[in-house]
Amino acid sequence: MHLQMVILGLSLFLVSCHPWHKTVQDRYAWPSFRGHVSNLGVSPTNLSPPLILNKIWHFDHRIRATAAASDGRVFIADWNGVVYALDVMSEAVLWQQPTRRYITGSPLLYRDQVIIASCDSTVYAFSARNGRLRWQYRMQHLSISSPVGYRDLVIFGSHDGHVYALNARNGKRKWAFDTGGLVSSSPAVANGRVYIGSGKPGLFCLDAGSGRLIWTFKTEKGVIASPVVADGLVFFGDYAGWFYAVDLQGRLVWKTRGLKKIDASAAYLEGIVYWADMAGTVFAARGATGEPVWQFPLQGPVISSVLLDDRYLYTARYRPARLFMLDRFTGDLVWSFALDGNTYASPMIYRNRLFIGTEKGVFYAFRSAEPDTLLTEVHP
């Protein structure tokens, strides 16, 4: 099958399955931290190098959250705990809403709502249209987990050790599961099961409907990274630097170790899994076997999670901050750009734009070298 047909099929799959699909017709939407409930980390649109700096927004505080986007709007949060809605074309701030403490996790776009966890120990749901508060849920401790939407549930983790599932319409708790350790990981959901890491340490598999424990996979150290579920396997790294592939019954298929801990989440496309560690190495390996495909040294620590389109891989070095665009088949460097401020957030692509924020409060938009037709479709 031609590669363009593959990515088109993936785009349609993401649209039919992504958590906002019942209310949003934008098939290019990026509605959550990793773009899809299985955390694939694959953009439904492709960029062409060299990327061109298009716009810079300056916020009052650092940005650690990865942006979400749909219907011509980008949603982002800063360390002041303020959630913003930006118009991509006019570049205007459409609305902003404060929380009471800083925000690290990413927003979820779900049923016309922007749902986000704050370090004031509260999850908020705002109207995507005007920012009006619809509901809030108070926890025992802060949360830096990025929520995902599944059916009528919003699922996320907390530093109180629990994984929570809330009713997406009113914020009432459906269930909670105690992992016994801090939960910074963001969940992946596939086939009615929730996969999430914990500081316990280990990876937990829960029933999405009830929160019942199905199995636990023990790791050497805590799992901060968010798991990826693809082709019958779950991929994730831990704080000891191990990267694991386990099957859907929780049995180890393969593992490999880097030089330092793994904060960043992996991405997966066409049988290859990609990830980065804090030593600054980007890895590509065959998902089924762990056989190495290539490695690329970024020469500095990486917290930012990798992003894919059908040809390229995108990631950012934390310090000194730099955005990288690699050929995902060969690992060759295609393009890079020095960013102003340490970079914790991950890149996100929306309609021929790549967005990323830094800890200096700088929020960048880069455009593809190709004509910008996809973006203007939402603003005729």
**What's the pLDDT at 6?**
39
Distance from C-alpha of 105 to C-alpha of 271, rounded to nearest angstrom: 28
**What's the pLDDT at 370?**
80
**What's the pLDDT at 283?**
98
With beta carbons less than 8 A apart as the criterion, state whether 236 and 267 touch: no
- Could you tell me whether strands 348-350 and 333-338 are parallel, antiparallel, or unpaired per DSSP bridges? unpaired
**Which residues, including other chains, have CB under 8 Å from residue 315's CB and lie 6 or more apart?**
264, 276, 282, 298, 302, 304, 305, 306, 307, 323, 324, 326, 346, 347
- Could you tell me whether strands 122-127 and 133-138 are parallel, antiparallel, or unpaired per DSSP bridges? antiparallel
Number of domains observed in the structure of the chain: 1
Distance from C-alpha of 107 to C-alpha of 365, rounded to nearest angstrom: 18
Distance from C-alpha of 310 to C-alpha of 38, rounded to nearest angstrom: 18
How remote is the C-alpha of 326 from its chain's centroid?
A: 19
**What's the pLDDT at 185?**
97
- The end-to-end CA distance of the chain, in Å, is 33
**Which residues, including other chains, have CB under 8 Å from residue 11's CB and lie 6 or more apart?**
27, 28, 44, 45
CB burial readout 61-71, b (16+ within 10 A) else e: bbbbbbbbbbb
Distance from C-alpha of 226 to C-alpha of 196, rounded to nearest angstrom: 7
CATH (domain of 251): 2.130.10.10
Give the CA dihedral 3, 282, 199, 229, nearest 10 degrees: 10
Give pLDDT tens digits along the chain (380 positions): 343 433 444 444 444 444 433 444 788 999 999 999 999 999 999 999 999 999 999 998 899 999 999 999 999 999 999 999 999 888 899 999 999 999 999 999 999 999 999 999 999 999 999 999 999 999 999 999 999 999 999 999 999 999 999 999 999 999 999 999 999 999 999 999 999 999 999 999 999 999 999 999 999 999 999 999 999 999 999 999 999 999 999 999 999 999 999 999 999 999 999 999 999 999 999 999 999 999 999 999 999 999 999 999 999 999 999 999 999 999 999 999 999 999 999 999 999 999 999 999 999 999 998 876 666 666 54
One-letter amino acid for residue 90 of the chain: S
Cα torsion angle, 59, 61, 64, 65, sign: negative
What's the pTM?
0.91
Distances (CA, A) of 248 to 155, 225, 251, 360, 378: 19, 18, 7, 40, 39
One DSSP character per residue, 262-307 reads: --SPPEEETTEEEEE-TTSEEEEEETTT--EEEEEE-SS---SPPE
**What's the pLDDT at 7?**
42
- Residue-number span of the structural domain to which 224 is assigned: 3-376
161 Ramachandran zone, left/alpha/beta (phi>0; psi -120 to 50)? left
Q: Hey, what are 262's tokens? A: 């793994």
